[in-house]
Amino acid sequence: MKKIVTILAVLTLYITVNAQLIDVVGKGAYNNASTELIIDDVGSVDYIVVEAVYKSPDPIDGPVEFVSGNESILVDATPVEFIFTENGTDYGVHPSYFRTTMQPASSITLNTLNNVAGVHSFVAYVFRTLPNPDHYSMINYDHGFFYKNGDFAPGVTNIAINTASEERDITTTAVIAELSYDTRLCVITVTAGDKSETLILDEPNSGANLTLEPITLTDVAGDVDNVEISIYSPWAWGTGDSFISGNIVVDVEETFDPCLTNSPLVDLGDDQLVYFGYNPMASADLTASVSGGTAPYTYLWSTGETTDVITVCPEENTTYTVTVTDANGCEAIDDVEVEVVDVRCGWRNRRVLICHTSFWCPNIQYTVCVKKWMVPWLLWWGDQMGSCDLYKSTSLLSEIPEFESEFALREFDKQFYQEEFKTGKVFNLTNEVNVYPNPVNDLANIEFTVDSENATVIELYSLMGKKVKTLYEGSTRPGEVYNTILDASGLVKGVYLVILRNGESAVKQKININ
């Protein structure tokens, strides 16, 4: 069965704002009393984890010393966490490591002190925080000692990575110590999704007894979220022998798309309405309100303009579109429709259509054509721009009258009200009454209209012709809807008549009271 290396340490990763990148710097330290590592670009370093690997038939005699320009630290050894051998038995050696965390420094020196013969390597894991969210590293802090465990029982480590929107390259660096020049072999296989590479190491490449060998998988699918690293020593005399694996670093370099996490949004607001033929209301200001993304922004309207606010004066219904691009090249698009109402009328279309409400009666509306100077005053009065058909009301006139002055319009209103509207000539109106709900349990609403301006009375009668109560009494105007309440509490159950009288005409409705 495969032995699984459990990830014990917390993996640190910064993705949304910046990314943590881990550089691996190392040298073989076998039989060296002192070994120095040089660290580049110290200004970007957050901290450095230094490590020396030890293996000897003899017990550890004492600590080692890590020294920089800022500090000197004595560190005791820690036994290697995982042992991978042919049958899991003790190999009879002491695989251990010395590790500590140090402040940023341009160079760090390992002094092996009393452990010269047992220390095989000196490695620094340099942690940097960089403003490149498309390039980051993951690290596993476990160690393993391998001796002829064979491909049937490899040490397997799994390191989680983020998914991505596109394919990316993944590079794994395994630290292999105590790999000498006597035909020892280390076999490393890295797998991510359907990509896999195997590397066979047979000699150190970073000084005596240390190998730092990156393995790169190219074009790894974006949905892959795990990297598997398998390590073993071949189970054969003359090829397989012992070595120690240090921390494994997985470096992910992808094409980061900032638009996926910080894309701008643009809002042009609600659709707008303009009135062609009346200049003060013939234009609309369109404002591109942007949120998110990264400033500065550029703007491109369907009109070709490049500012965040534009003014348009369409003569027909028009849809306007704006494309906003932020500093990262991320785009946002929105559109708005400007509806156009043509209010031109009269001689050479130099006057304005108005849906006018009579000065004499608010129930009277008709479309008129007036001079432009009259428009502000009529709008203040409560009139509306354009034909009355726009407001789901029907003009009471078959033709549109034109007016030169306020006085002429007032005189027309007066004459129309007195001679046409008040008599009901302009309507096909009838007296109507409607009681609901019917049957009535407690309270009911009485809705009614009349056909002429007269005193109106609504009364409740029994079927025997006896008046029960008066429900409404007052003056009414033709065409207007009125409401009153019928309180049926205290009335005997049965059938009643609601009778409406307006002038000489009357209508009635039968109701049931439960």
Tokens of 351: 């006057």
d(CA 281, CA 5): 75
The amino acid at residue 241 is D
Query: Do residues 119 and 53 touch, judged by C-beta distance below 8 A?
Result: yes
Q: Which of 2, 1, 12 is nearest to 159 (CA)?
A: 12
Query: Do residues 74 and 63 touch, judged by C-beta distance below 8 A?
Result: yes
Q: Which of 116, 62, 109, 56 is nearest to 80 (CA)?
A: 56
- The residue ranges of every structural domain in the chain are 3-256, 259-342, 348-421, 432-513
Fold: same for 259-342 and 432-513: yes
Give the pLDDT confidence of 199-238 residue by residue, as tens digits. Answer: 998 888 898 889 898 999 999 998 999 999 999 988 766 5
Burial class (CB in 10 A: 0-12, 13-18, 19+), 347: exposed
Give the pLDDT confidence of 93-123 residue by residue, as tens digits. Answer: 888 999 999 999 999 999 999 888 889 999 9
Query: Do residues 504 and 431 touch, judged by C-beta distance below 8 A?
Result: no
Is the Cα torsion angle 306, 308, 309, 315 positive or negative in sign?
Answer: positive
Q: Strand, helix or coil at 420?
A: helix
Q: Strand, helix or coil at 375?
A: helix
d(CA 118, CA 168): 40
The amino acid at residue 237 is W
DSSP run (H or E) holding 406: helix 406-416
d(CA 114, CA 343): 100
Contacts of 482 (CB under 8 A, 6+ apart): 447, 448, 449, 456, 472, 476
User: What pLDDT sits at residue 1?
Assistant: 28
Cα 68 to Cα 38, 104, 111, 119, 313, distances in angstroms:
10, 9, 11, 19, 72
Cα 465 to chain centroid distance, Å, stands at: 72
Statement: the pTM of the whole predicted model exceeds 0.75: no
Q: DSSP assignment, residue 430? A: -
Q: Which of 148, 146, 141 is nearest to 178 (CA)?
A: 146
User: What pLDDT sits at residue 15?
Assistant: 32
User: According to CATH, what is the number of the domain 259-342?
Assistant: 2.60.40.10
Whole-number mean pLDDT of the chain?
86
User: Phi and psi at residue 149, in whole multiples of 5°?
Assistant: -80, -20
User: What pLDDT sits at residue 183?
Assistant: 64
Query: Do residues 13 and 138 touch, judged by C-beta distance below 8 A?
Result: yes
Is the Cα torsion angle 43, 44, 49, 52 positive or negative in sign?
Answer: negative
Contacts of 253 (CB under 8 A, 6+ apart): 134, 135, 168, 169, 170, 171
| Strand locations in 265-382 (E) | 265-267, 272-276, 284-287, 289-291, 298-301, 309-312, 318-325, 331-342, 344-345, 351-357, 365-370
Task: Return the bridge partners of 252, or none.
Answer: 136, 170
Query: Do residues 335 and 268 touch, judged by C-beta distance below 8 A?
Result: yes
User: What pLDDT sits at residue 41?
Assistant: 93
Query: Do residues 320 and 303 touch, judged by C-beta distance below 8 A?
Result: yes
Tokens of 82: 């995982």
Cis peptide before 79 (omega within 30 of 0): no
Question: Which portions of the chain are predicted below pLDDT 50?
Answer: 1-17, 393-394
CATH of 432-513, one of 3.40.50.150, 3.20.20.140, 2.60.40.10, 3.40.50.300: 2.60.40.10
